[in-house]
Every structure is written in structure tokens, then in C-alpha cells.
Amino acid sequence: MELIDSHCHLDDDRFDADRDQVVARARALQINKIVVPATTANRWEKVRQVAETYEGIYPAYGLHPMFIQQHQIAHIGELDEWLDRHKPVAVGECGIDFYDSRIDQIWQFQLFNEQLQLAINHRLPVIIHVRKAMDEVISLLRKITLPGGVIHSFSGSLQQAQQLIDLGFKLGIAATVGFERAKKLRAVVASVPVHGLLIESDAPDQPGTHHRGELNEPAYIVEHLKTMAELRDISEAELIETLRQNSYQVFNFESAIDS
């Protein structure tokens, strides 16, 4: 069996001291593929290096909305060239984040739209970050035809979840699902078609119930995998195989080759 972490920031500087061990612990649990999305232009090279260093690590390149002040319009052209030169599995992490009202929303939408167009041009799926803007993102995605993608760390309603799945997107489920208070997310995981789900760590952030106060890492996804299987009332083995198939539907791992 093969478990795939669909979203992990393995390039994060907090992993510099023990990245080898983090990868080894994941592999010991049959987590053989990890998707690593970049967040800013100055992280693209490190993501590329990490993916080149470790077998089974797959890069994605994008401009994250939370770091909007670091982005420039010139980065879109640079991203276009980077996607062409270094074959990633997705464009991202990109998206819309309205949590901090001080962040320029118009600039966010411009950057997001530009990256969606790059995804179309390069025939790549997108890894989308959404916070406090789910309806706005769904409305935007309805207007274009993308090669699929993932709504990373999904936190919306059951209705929004179904709308996104109907649009061809998968929902990335993070360790939040392991918290009893996450009733809305648990209802989504229990109710939507299982073909619409992926599993992710979002490491080193979003540690689960047993690791609060620690750095998160890919190996820990086996813990909320158990919760997801219980919510679906299926075996962990069955869920692992379904999640593997779902991941392959989104990401073309075979084409991700650095040239």
C-alpha cells in the first residue's frame, strides 16, 4: 500500500536540522509520495532542491496569498518560465485569504487569476489555499475550465464541498479532522463521495491532537487517516487505496521531471 501526503512544506527552514529523518519516518510508514508546494518566488529553488534530493518528493510552484506583500507582477512571468523549465505536479500554493482584512483583496484576485491562467496554459492542476473566501473562490472556478486541483486544508460547508467536487476538485483533509470540535469538517468527510478526498499534513504546521505544540510532519497523517476511516465506516486499507487513486487523478507524478 502507498499513502500520499498531498500537501507538505518540506522545504520549510524548520526542517533543515532533521529533514532526512522526517523523510525516513514517512517512508517507514509507506508514505512514499509527498507533494511540496512553494509559497513565494524566493522558495521555488529550495523546493526544487528538496524534490531533487529525495525520491518521491514532488514540487509545485506558486505564490501564496498570505505572502502577498512579497509578490510582484513580474513573478508571474518568472513563474511561467519556471513551470516550463522545471516540470512540477501542480501550480500552487495559490488562492484567496480574507482572514486579514488589511491584505489587498484586489491584488490577491489578480495574482490568483494569473496563476489559474498559467495552470490552464501548462495543463497543470492547482493547489488552492482558501480562507474566509470559499464562496468567492467557487464563483471564480465556475467561470473557467481547469485541469482539476485540490482545495488545500478544506474548511468549508458540506454544500461548498459538494460544489467543489462537482467542479472536479478534491478536498485536502488535514489533521483538524481529528479534533472533536471540528464537527463541520467531520460531517464533510463522512458525507461527500470518497473520490473527492485527499489527505495532507500541511507540515510543519497544523499538528494533530497528539502533537500540539510540536512541529507537524508527514508521518503523522496516519493518525487522522484513522479518524477519516472511522467517519467513512471503511477499513484504513480501503481508504488508503482510494486516496492513492484520488491523488493519481489529480497529480501526474510520472511527468514531474526536472529538465
* pLDDT for the residue 256: 67
Query: Which residues, including other chains, have CB under 8 Å from residue 103's CB and lie 6 or more apart?
Result: 65, 66, 68, 97
Give the mean pLDDT of the chain: 96
CATH number 3.20.20.140 is the correct assignment for the domain at 3-255: yes
Which among 66, 55, 61 has a CA at the least distance from the CA of 91?
61
* pLDDT for the residue 6: 99
Cα(180)–Cα(108) distance, integer angstroms: 33
pLDDT at 145 over 90: yes
Cα(122)–Cα(16) distance, integer angstroms: 31
pLDDT band at 258 (very low <50, low <70, confident <90, very high): very low
pLDDT tens column, 57-71: 999 999 999 998 899
Helix axes 221-232, 183-191, angle to 10 degrees: 60
- Here the cell at position 27 is 517512508
Cα(184)–Cα(173) distance, integer angstroms: 12
pLDDT tens column, 223-235: 999 999 999 999 9
pLDDT band at 1 (very low <50, low <70, confident <90, very high): confident
3-state DSSP helix/strand/coil % of the chain, to nearest 5: 50, 15, 35
* pLDDT for the residue 244: 98
Average pLDDT for residues 138-147, to the nearest whole number?
Answer: 96
pLDDT band at 212 (very low <50, low <70, confident <90, very high): confident
Contact status, residue 193 vs residue 160, Cβ threshold 8 Å:
no
Cα(177)–Cα(183) distance, integer angstroms: 8
- Residue 130, judged by CB atoms within 10 A of its CB (0-12, 13-18, 19+), counts as buried
* pLDDT for the residue 257: 52
- Residue 46, judged by CB atoms within 10 A of its CB (0-12, 13-18, 19+), counts as middle
Higher pLDDT, 140 or 258: 140
pLDDT tens column, 175-196: 999 999 999 999 999 999 999 9
Higher pLDDT, 213 or 149: 149
